[in-house]
Structure 1
Amino acid sequence: MSPTRAVAVEDLGAWLLKGNADHAGLRERFAVAPRVERWCVQPSYRLELMRAGQPVLFWGSGSRRRDSAYGIWGAGRLTGPPRRDGDGWEVPLDLTIAPPEAWIPRSRIRSLLPDIEVLRQPQGANPSYVTVRQYAVIMSLLG
């Protein structure tokens, strides 16, 4: 019996890639270089669904006690399918991290989209996803 697949291409609004800002110095990295050209992902059926041109969002994660600015930090597109990178996998991207004042805090996302996967399963591996409806809400917030 195969496991239930949460993601269906028909209702995929965007892929959501996460980075733990508590451990990786992401704020400092993105302040200097806000363009992201690749990101690590974990093998799963989701990699088979990823295609060039699909929208992607970046979620800055971390401890709720440390920083209230965690949430959606940027948006872009996949530029190709996932590929092997040494022992792991990565996806090629054209994604830009917005200035911190434009980030959408986790608290705002939670108030509007309490059912979003990244909040329901915060420890889930990359990639996560948002539905078509959720993506429309997020894009309206990003302007």
Structure 2
Amino acid sequence: MKGISPEFNTYPLNIQKHMSQLAMYCKFAHNRVIVKKGFSPDGCYIVLSGTLVEKTENKKKVRELWPGSNFGEEDLICGCNRRSTVLTRTNVELFCIHKQDYRQIFNMAEDVSNPKNLEVCKQDVVFQHFPMHRLVENPGIWTIVKYK
């Protein structure tokens, strides 16, 4: 994985090992939908081989995904529905991490958007002038994650 994905290298070594233990290998033929806009996220992916395209409604241009690219992680972290559709352009091989495994790897609790968790941020000088009440009013737009 270290030779394929620069993104994978940004994780601490213990996270890399945990990801490798829980990941699945997936292989898809060309012209297949991997994730569909509007659906609940089921995992995140790193491209091992092949080419995919990511289409979003907001962007007229499509983004190409090559070996080493990753997708799906942002939707998984925020807990929102998929914001784009990803299709295979060629036969592809993917390194896949399921949603429950991702939560286990990064120690994400189910109540990560609990307003009680904001007490830590309120005590930090960085957030001194940040409108915390906006986060309390909108629990679905933020989360706390032990990350990279």
Q: Please classify the TM superposition score into its range, dividing by the shorter chain length.
A: under 0.3
Greater strand proportion: 1
Higher Cα radius of gyration: 2
Report the TM-score when normalising by structure 1: 0.23
